Amino acid sequence: MSAVNSLNPFRCAFEGIADALSTQRHLRIHVSVAGFVALFGLLLGLPYVDLLLLLMAIALVVITELLNTAVELTVDLASPGVSSIARRAKDIAAGAVLIAALVSAAIGFIILAPPLFRALVASPFSAKSALLAVTALGLGGSIVTALLPRRSWQNPSSELTSKQR
Residues of the chain short of pLDDT 50, as ranges, are 156-165
CB 31 within 8 A of CB 22: no
What integer pLDDT is reported at residue 162 of this predicted model? 43
Predicted model pTM: 0.78
What integer pLDDT is reported at residue 161 of this predicted model? 45
Q: Which amino acid is at 158?
A: S
Farthest-apart Cα atoms in the chain, separation: 66
Q: Choosing from 15, 65, 72, 159, which is the catalytic residue?
A: 65
Candidates 37, 67, 65; CA nearest to 53 is: 37
What integer pLDDT is reported at residue 16 of this predicted model? 95
Q: What is the DSSP letter of 150?
A: P
What integer pLDDT is reported at residue 158 of this predicted model? 46
Q: Which amino acid is at 123?
A: S
What integer pLDDT is reported at residue 151 of this predicted model? 64
Judge whether 72 counts as a catalytic residue. Answer: no
Q: Give the separation between CA 120 and CA 39, rounded to whole angstroms.
A: 16
- Give the tens place of pLDDT for each residue, 39-51: 889 989 999 999 9
Q: Give the separation between CA 118 and CA 43, rounded to whole angstroms.
A: 13
Count of beta carbons in the 10 Å neighbourhood of residue 149: 4
